[in-house]
Structure 1
């Protein structure tokens, strides 16, 4: 069997929201249920990413989730596992394990506890990329980065390893101009994913995206939006994209705030058993906020279904 290349990693790849049982353990059936839902919605694969609470998992859980990630794809699309860590040694170990259990590609975040300069960033990512044979998505997480991953560092990685081995998920703000800067700095070779929950997809798509990485709760909404944009139907894309951006404005105040809303959406739809967010988390969703976001969410689900016909 040939190894996956970057060309296999594209389109809509939502992030699994880590499900837990009532006893706070990983809920493997709910993990698979989310994967099934995403493929039924027309997604091209799925991702275990930062909003999957991956940094709050134990070492043993991270290894098990990588196995679940690979098995849940079941040949229906690509599986992408987040393997970044605070040291290159740990990231390499997680990355090799994910490759060994059959994951198709890696999403690798930089260390979050110390700000790295350009050379240090390139060194960290180089060690990970060279340790595996499957593609690596270089992930700059705006909420966790001590300093932005420079365009220069990303261009150097692409020049060294090529577009078959390395891709990018740049989240440094403002996102759309950064996408254009990366595109221009690499002569259009960089394969770039939007990672703001579809918030800036209307703008970023035309700048040369390879795909988008939202999360499970908006999978079918973003699939419809992506297909409208790919078809050049800007008018209907705006009908869906504008309220989606409003929803994301509510949700993206913090990771825990996002999860408190997104997991309630999924529980209401029967896709997960509990809305538990692993601590330390102090956010409690108030009733008025829930009423507002749920009104917008239900509108989006209805509109996406209408526009997908």
Structure 2
């Protein structure tokens, strides 16, 4: 039976050994941590350095994702590619491995119009039986994925097969547009590290997709919002947005900070990020983000009681 895809689903930050190979033990350490702090599952997404993995590594990650989630929660594997043919191959393999849903990003090398986007996503959705989360990645899209295309796919395949992770800016108004264009049927995930979760939640969400290092912070924030405890939620949501303003300057900038958080906490063994571009974190930035992060961890523990 297909699991209900909802709740807090953090993204694994791809760990590597000192010689640059995938570190499966640290991958599993992250998934263990996510379930221990109350996450509903996890995602392998773009912040998992997906586009920097080899073909074989992508296949292997799908396999270990399915096993890591078995009996504990939801596993979501990102299977988007530059062609529908490649995306279909990755999607079918992930389904065969036993993952619960797919996160499918659009191609990134060409600006695709509505017809090309509809064809790409339709072919992928029709190739599998598990749910597909349509992912618009704002930093990689040549042009925004239109609300019309997203609504058309839901009408064609239904809300059990098609979900959404919209990141086109400004995100909150587009969440409302997608909600309204689908008569409230669209099942939408926030995907900006909790940055706009306070606003997006009340516009209609089924979940949020942060990353490993802020898993317990966002678990508490999500629960507060679901319980209607807005004042308490703002106590976490506002400093979390400030932290994300620091981190979300680029993929490498984010990873340089997030992996250092995880290493300091003993969840991963190193902070290696695959090249060719690597951000070097300066001491003053680290001091500020670390202070903010520690305060958020303490506050989330206080508000979870």
Q: Give the RMSD, CA atoms, in angstroms.
A: 0.5
1:99 alignment counterpart: 95
Q: Aligned pair 1:291/2:279, yes or no?
A: no
2:220 alignment counterpart: 224
Q: Aligned pair 1:131/2:127, yes or no?
A: yes
Q: Distance in 2 between matches of 1:46 and 1:100?
A: 18
Q: Distance in 1 between matches of 2:78 and 2:160?
A: 18
Offset, 1:75 = 1.3
Partner-residue secondary structure (3-state), 2:80? coil
Offset, 1:274 = 1.1
**1:99-152 CA distances to partner (integer Å, 9 max, x unpaired)?**
000000000000000010011001000000000000000000000000000000
The structure 1 segments of at least 4 consecutive aligned residues displaced by more than 2 Å after TM superposition are none
Q: Distance in 1 between matches of 2:224 and 2:71?
A: 26
1:181 alignment counterpart: 177
**1:61-81 CA distances to partner (integer Å, 9 max, x unpaired)?**
000000011011121100000
Q: Aligned pair 1:114/2:110, yes or no?
A: yes
**1:234-262 CA distances to partner (integer Å, 9 max, x unpaired)?**
00000000000000000000011000000
TM-score norm. by structure 2 comes to 0.99
TM-score norm. by structure 1 comes to 0.98
Offset, 1:280 = 1.3
Residues 15-94 of structure 1 aligned to structure 2 (within 5 Å): 15-94=11-90
5+ long unaligned stretches in structure 1: none
Q: Distance in 2 between matches of 1:45 and 1:24?
A: 26
Partner-residue secondary structure (3-state), 2:198? helix
5+ long unaligned stretches in structure 2: none
Alignment length (residue pairs): 305
Partner-residue secondary structure (3-state), 1:272? coil
2:154 alignment counterpart: 158
